[in-house]
Amino acid sequence: MARTREFDTEAAVSRAMELFWSRGYEATSVRDLTQHLGIGQGSLYAAFGDKDGLYRAALEHYRTTLAAAALRSLEEGADARSAIRTMLVERVRIAAEGDGRGCLAVNAACERLPRDPTTRRTVREMQDAGRDALADVLRVAQGRGEVTVRHDAHTLAGFLVTFLNGLLVSSKISPDVRALEPLVEVALGALD
């Protein structure tokens, strides 16, 4: 008779996400994961296949929690500029936590993309969703005259996503939110 899984896989994925986020994929061993999650190696393999499977599950969890929350905050903002400012500053604040852990998706792009097409696809989908959500907000704002029409909304959104990626990498180097926040104001100048 097969044993039933004796741990909460959703909680395990969330805890694994935190470990991968703070250490990175390469610096996190299966032993680190089993100790951090409080499960045996056999349970990890039975639930996720291998370390890569758990990493992909952690990235997906990141996408459906933190990344999704950032997109919702954009949609709920009163005006485009304030909503975009809030989203950018909040992403920097989260990235600077833990002595500059950065963004799990950007970290994955820097560490894993050359070797892992599945991670590439997941990160690209996150980037595309962020760009598309920003473009939608910007189109509405352009229609209301709040944002320049000098550049099309898709291009402006692409610029903001690219800027944010760079800012998130910078947060790993200098995890000082007060030093990074003024850069958001400079980027928002592209909306004028």
CATH number, domain at 144? 1.10.357.10
Residue 81 lies in a domain: yes
Residue 145 lies in a domain: yes
Residue 112 lies in a domain: yes
From the list 57, 67, 64, the residue with the least C-alpha distance to 37 is 57
Q: How many helices (H) and strands (E) does the chain have?
A: 10, 0
Residue 83 lies in a domain: yes
Residue 36 lies in a domain: no
Q: In which region does residue 24 sit, left (phi positive, over 0), alpha (psi from -120 to 50) or beta (all else)?
A: left
Residue 52 lies in a domain: no
Residue type for position 73: S
Residue 14 lies in a domain: no
Residue 184 lies in a domain: yes
CA atoms within 13 A on the CB side of 79: 8
pLDDT digits (tens, 9 = 90+) for 116-136: 888 889 999 999 999 999 999
How many residues belong to the chain?
192
pLDDT digits (tens, 9 = 90+) for 61-117: 998 888 888 777 777 767 889 889 999 999 999 999 888 899 999 999 999 877 888
Domain with 140, as residue range(s), is 62-191
Whether pLDDT at 1 is above 50: no
Whether pLDDT at 5 is above 70: no
pLDDT digits (tens, 9 = 90+) for 15-73: 999 999 999 999 999 999 999 999 999 999 999 999 999 999 999 999 888 888 877 77
* Rounded alpha-carbon distances, angstroms, from residue 88 to 45, 47, 96, 119, 188: 37, 35, 12, 23, 10
Question: In total, how many domains does the chain have?
Answer: 1
